[in-house]
Amino acid sequence: MKQKVLVLNQDFSPISICTVQRAFILNYLKKTELVKSANGHRLRSIDQSFPMPAVIRLMRYVHIPYKGVSLTRQNIFKRDNFNCQYCGTSRDLTLDHVIPKSKGGRSSWDNLITACRRCNTRKGDYTPDQAGFRLKTKPFKPTYLMFLREFSGYHCEEWLPYLPG
């Protein structure tokens, strides 16, 4: 089962994505309620049938102090659509500091991009301008909602009303 389920806080704000199995268990234990089912799909046991969840809502409000996207290798690859930001290939990917660390560049959303090993080696210890490279897209820090909506790897029409923008 590859489907994912959008989890909403009690106030209908999106807080995470989980598997169908986890959503079903949370629903069965009455910790959540089903908001939207997956278009006509059902989960079956020996003698019962249940709607497959697409969106669930927590029964209690959970205070989440910071909803941000973690700066990880995988999240940068997702943001950059698993493509080298110099040549566009999707093979042999690495991370590259736009402004090299030796020149004061930091490991941040605004300075890290996906690059193939070949372009990363050719760029070396230079900035893209110095190396004669042009970035396909400017690096940016995605918001939590943007990350859920665009980079989660799963798109479901039932989620759209709960992911603004």
Q: What span, in angstroms and rounded, lies between the C-alpha atoms of 104 and 44?
A: 57
Scan for tokens 């973690």, then name that residue: 70
Give Cα 161 to chain centroid, integer Å: 18
pLDDT band (50, 70, 90) for residue 120: very high
| Per-domain boundaries in the chain | 4-65+144-162, 73-131
- CA dist 103 and 98 (Å) reads 10
Is residue 160 predicted with pLDDT exceeding 60? Answer: yes
Question: Can you give the pTM of this predicted structure?
Answer: 0.73
Rounded to whole angstroms, the Cα distance separating 114 from 54 reads 31
Q: At residue 1, does pLDDT exceed 60?
A: no
pLDDT band at 114 (very low <50, low <70, confident <90, very high): very high
CA angle centred on 128, ends 123 and 133, rounded to 5°: 80
- Average pLDDT (48-69) is 90
**Range 73-131: architecture per CATH:** Orthogonal Bundle (1.10)
Q: What is the pLDDT of residues 144-153, one digit of tens each?
A: 878 877 766 6
The set of residues, in sequence order, having a beta carbon less than 8 Å from that of 71 and lying 6+ positions away, is 107, 108, 109, 112
Residue % of the chain over a pLDDT of 70: 96
Task: For residue 93, give Cα distances in angstroms to 53, 88, 117.
Answer: 35, 11, 6
How does pLDDT run across 60-97, given as a tens digit for each residue? 999 988 778 889 999 999 999 999 999 999 999 999 99
